[in-house]
């Protein structure tokens, strides 16, 4: 699956998917910031003390362990004026 992430809050909602594994790759050219916690605003996820974890262009995340809780949305956002493409796949 593929989504475009911009400076508005986006999310991958694994709880709807009930996955045992989730792979996310930033296939665009801008850094995307992610967080399991829901930010107060989209800007809060890429700036300040509440900043999410940066996932640079061409980097990948893999969640694949029985102990990992994937029952919450993964929030994604880019810095103001930027956008990127994120591809993800999951296994139930």
**Structure confidence by residue, pLDDT tens digits, 7-33:** 999 988 876 666 778 899 999 999 999
Task: Identify the sign of the CA torsion 35, 6, 80, 55.
Answer: positive
CA 10 – CA 68 distance, rounded (Å): 21
- Other C-beta atoms closer than 10 Å to the C-beta of 81 total 8
The domain ranges of the chain are 2-91
**Taking residues 32-58, what's their average pLDDT?**
89
pTM of the entire predicted model = 0.87
**Taking residues 69-76, what's their average pLDDT?**
84
Q: Name the CATH code of domain 2-91 (choices 2.60.120.10, 2.60.120.770, 1.25.40.340, 2.60.40.10).
A: 2.60.120.770
pLDDT in tens, 31-40: 999 998 888 8
Q: Does 16 or 68 have the greater pLDDT score?
A: 68
Alpha helices per DSSP H over the chain: 14-17, 42-46
Structure tokens at 15: 């709880």
């Amino acid at each position: 699956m593929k989504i475009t992430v911009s400076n508005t809050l986006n999310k991958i909602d694994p709880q709807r998917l009930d996955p045992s594994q989730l792979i996310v790759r930033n296939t665009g050219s801008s850094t995307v910031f992610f967080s399991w916690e829901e930010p107060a605003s989209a800007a809060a996820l890429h700036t300040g003390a509440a900043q999410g974890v940066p996932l640079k262009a061409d980097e990948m995340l893999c969640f694949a362990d029985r102990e990992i809780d994937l029952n919450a949305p993964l929030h994604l956002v880019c810095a103001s004026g930027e956008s990127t493409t994120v591809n993800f796949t999951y296994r139930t």
